Chains A and B, each alone.
Chain A
Amino acid sequence: MNDSSRISPGTWPLDESKLNFSAWAKRHLQSLLAALGAMSRAPLASAMTAAVIGVALALPATIAIALANTDQITERWEGVATLTAFMELGVDQATVAATADAFRLVRAVDRVDITTPQDALDEYRAMAGDNGVLDALGETNPLPWVLLVRVRPDAATAKSVEALAEELSQRPSVEFVDFDLRWVTRLNAITLLGTRISWVVALVLAFAVLLVIGNTIRLEIEHKRNEIEVLQLVGATHAFVRRPFLYTGVWYGLFGALFAGCVVSAALAAVEGPVEALANAYGSSLRLLWPGIVQTISLLAVGAALGALGAWLSVSRYLLVKQGTRSVDL
């Protein structure tokens, strides 16, 4: 015999009363605003909780924006990959010109510029200042001829530039080939490491945010124990009991994310001047990359989601623990 056949005609209906969408949306909006109102009644405590969450979110956000800036540097660098081919000492200008012409025939090469030993010496003199050391050389110039090889942008990957350097260094009269892509490769490796670290930090701190919000909500649940019991007594579902706490968690997460956004902006503002000075010193037009609308919305969404999740875990744990025990004291 199944259950329904045993139930008498007077059986109480226990089916969920489905709300229509506008009623449902209204309830949620009310909860959303009520949670904000409750927080505003204890502004200092709420602000401090949000600030703690904000600090926890600010660190991974700062790392993320720093990495975005580093990516920008490596991308620019790869775009102008340049090889420097040092000629053997004592080769004559004709040989150098011939080598340069040979280089120009290589597919990956964009253009080749020739630096004479005299140019190099002048450049060095300009950089190092007239300190007498160069004068001691007299008329002899110890510097070699140099070919500056600009790589075509489409061939400017670490691998192809390395292959090109290898190929060019095999040419006669070429002493050796240097390229700054090694530096880019290292930077790439560092960036990769940084990305990994930021993920680890972000995960650990996301966990911290969950704990902070979970604990804040737990205290609020303790504070409202009586109210929750009365609500359950008059037939409130778990979802009904949970909803205001979820929205409180969402607000904490959102305000925490806003706080984190302010921290990141302040940090960027603080380093913007020095970064510009550094870029200028390198003759680069690089400018600091600020977080865009997508990153800002992502930060807020992550904050809100962590807030909701932390609150959900906290309330669910409370409801689960209570389910097995005496739920209401008469």
Chain B
Amino acid sequence: MLLFLMASGLTLIFSMMGVLNFAHASFFMLGAYFAYQISHHIGFWPGLIAAPILVGILGAAVERYALRPVHRFGHVAELLFTFGLAFVIEEVVQMIWGKVPVPYDVPASMNVTAFAWQGLDYSAYRIFMLLISVAIFVALFFGLTKTRIGLIIRAALTHPHMVASLGHDVPKVFMWTFGVGCALAGVAGVIGGNVLGTEPGMAIQLGPIVFVVIVVGGLGSLGGALIASLLIGILNNMAIAYDFSFYPIFTALGVEREAEGVLGDLVGLTTGAIAPLMPYLLLVLMLIFRPRGLFGTRDV
């Protein structure tokens, strides 16, 4: 679910502006940290509202004052800029809050088990996370399909130049899009930071996976982002939870358990062990064979 929130923001930014926001996960991190600060002093619920807004404003400011001048140097330069931005944000976060994880916790009111299913406990908080994500997805869906600005955004998803030619104030739309995209990442940070742990390394952990999601789902497609994030999330969880061993395949091929060398390593593999690999394998395969992704309307 977190993946979807972040992926939707990134899709919006990438599809609208052609900028692959390397720093997207950094805004996710900022959301978590802001929420921590606010919840520390005021409370969780105000943080839920305020933190994403702050992140969004920060994002819009970054677009307006920093990213915009880089536009004219081309996509590679923009990518380099957002890459540098990610670097700087991580360092700044370390500077302000230190390297140790901060105690951003799930509010006590929701830290209870709602129900159990198939041997796994589901806490009320996770339900809450799910609900928020669904609510945002629904809001995005209606916002994009029923409103005028939504129409413009959808048009810009596939034909950005046309939209500019039609007279819309593209710079302002860009600024707001970037802001909203970052705010979405911020929301993910707010609701996810207390579960995953809020520390400076969280951006680099989640960042690449979000890229995988939007590439696999297809660029320019929010629905694709949803499906891909579900897919990757489920695959990941299943791989770890069920932990299939590859051993049977190898024995079928006549390989011994005590095999030497590389084979020895591979024989002992389980899906849990290679779970970290899978998204990137998917990314590489997708980019090579079907750069449009599953539902994409545009090539990368």
Does chain A bind chain B?
A: no
